[in-house]
Structure formats: C-alpha cells, structure tokens
Amino acid sequence: MAANYGLLGEHLSHSYSKQIHEALADYTYDLIELSKEELKDFMTAKDFAAVNVTIPYKRDVIPYLDELDERAKSIGAVNTVVNRNGKLFGYNTDYYGFLYTLKIHNIKITGEKVVVLGNGGAAQAVLAVLRDLSAKEIVIVDIVPGEGVCTYEEVNRLHTDATVLVNTSPIGMYPKVDASPIDITPFTMLTAVVDVIYNPEVTKLLAQAKNRDLIAVNGLQMLVSQAFYAVQHFLDTTLEEAKIEEVTQMIRETLY
C-alpha cells in the first residue's frame, strides 16, 4: 500500500490524526491499518514519505529504522518515521506533545512528587519529560508490578502526598466512560491531574479533579501538539506554535 503520509497502527477507526494533520499541513494523510504480519512488508518496502506510528507498533518499527534521534533512543519508542532517500529516521514527538501540555497549563513539575498511572508505550515519553524537568520523585503505578513499579494498593498506602497525577492508562476511555483508574480522594496534596485520554473530554478521573478545583487537563492538546512537531519533521519546516491552539479548538468543536 503506497502512502505519502499517514498513521500506522492496528485499529484506527476512532483516530483524529487525519483531521489534525490535514489542518496543520497541505497534504493528504491516510490511516494505515496493518496487522502485525503486514508490518514487516510495509516497513521494508519504504513506500512512503513519512508516517506516524501508534499502538501497538511504537517499539516494533525500531528494527527497520536506519537512524534514531537521541530522544527516541532514550525513550525506546518511536511515533514519527521520515523516509529520506530510502533511509528511515525515527523520532518521538509524544515527548514534546506532553511537554507542551504542561507548559500551556502552567503545571509545575520541578521539585514535585508525581504519580504516573500505567507503564506502557504512552507512559515512556511522559516519564522522560518528568525526569528531564527534575521531578523530585516519580511513582509509576501499574496493574503489573515490577522493578520500580508499584501496585494501586501501594500507591494508596504510601504515595498520597503526590502533587501531580498523570494517567497514561486507557481506563476511562470511550466507550467505558464510567471507569476510573483511581479514586483521588486520599490524594489531598494534588494540584494538577493530566489524563492523556481525549475521548471523552472529561473522564471520570478529570471530573473528580475538577470538583476539587484542581488543574484538570485531557490529552487533546498532547495529541495535536505531537502532530504539530511531527509535521515539522515530515516537511523539514517550522510552524508557528499558535497553530496548535487553533487546530485544538477545531478538533474540540468536532469531537465534543
């Protein structure tokens, strides 16, 4: 399947990436659904100018790349691949998307204790940003505990003094909108909650944060801003940052 620009993933029917990219840049952007068996042929054929990569292939594409930038290498995941004369270059713009979200909402990380729910692909860019911004302590929580990862029971027992909470898990995402990954009632020191989910606009987790007048931010700006930074790699150009808010508002009106 030839594609100049597009999104590579397994299930993409609910993706808004096409609308976002085509609002940011003057090209056609395709949704490229591939099974795990089809991925190898697509990547080795290199029949594309540039693609974004989403679940579950952010790590799977790495062996097919000729070069990884330092950010993608340290995160261990790629969401942007650019074909330059038959050589594939990998980047991670999720990092900059999350960084932009924190900046635009004035969420302070330096010196703060941050709880991150989930430890999958979406969490890795978030964790890299938190480390680079010198969070005082980062507590990773997952249903599968391991080295450096605690359980939900442990976070409720030991870490309710966190000031920022970030949900990178899919719990609460449409259509299972009645679910929440955690009850934040015991977390009396919280100032901000970020949920990388963008559908629904207000997850059950964010509704709880809003009821306490905390900073409560969903994942829509992260989605648009990671695309904004990807476009600049795709086209080797610079865009005005104001475009992020313009496109975010457009998608918000479409989505909600």
Q: What is the pLDDT of residue 120?
A: 85
Per annotation, catalytic residue among 46, 58, 103, 210: 58
Q: What is the pLDDT of residue 121?
A: 79
Measured CA distances, 90 to 3, 41, 61 (Å): 17, 18, 9
* 204 catalytic residue (yes or no): no
CA 31 centroid distance within chain: 18
Closest CA to 218 of 193, 191, 241: 193
Phi and psi at 22, nearest 5°, equal -70, -20
Closest CA to 184 of 167, 168, 169: 167
Q: What is the pLDDT of residue 1?
A: 44
Q: How far apart are CA 52 and CA 47, in angstroms?
A: 14
**Block means of pLDDT (10 residues each) for the chain, length 256 residues?**
84 92 96 96 97 93 97 95 98 97 98 96 93 98 92 97 97 94 98 96 98 98 98 97 96 92
Query: Which tokens go with 39?
Result: 């991925």
Q: What is the pLDDT of residue 2?
A: 53
Q: What is the pLDDT of residue 14?
A: 84
Q: What is the pLDDT of residue 58?
A: 93
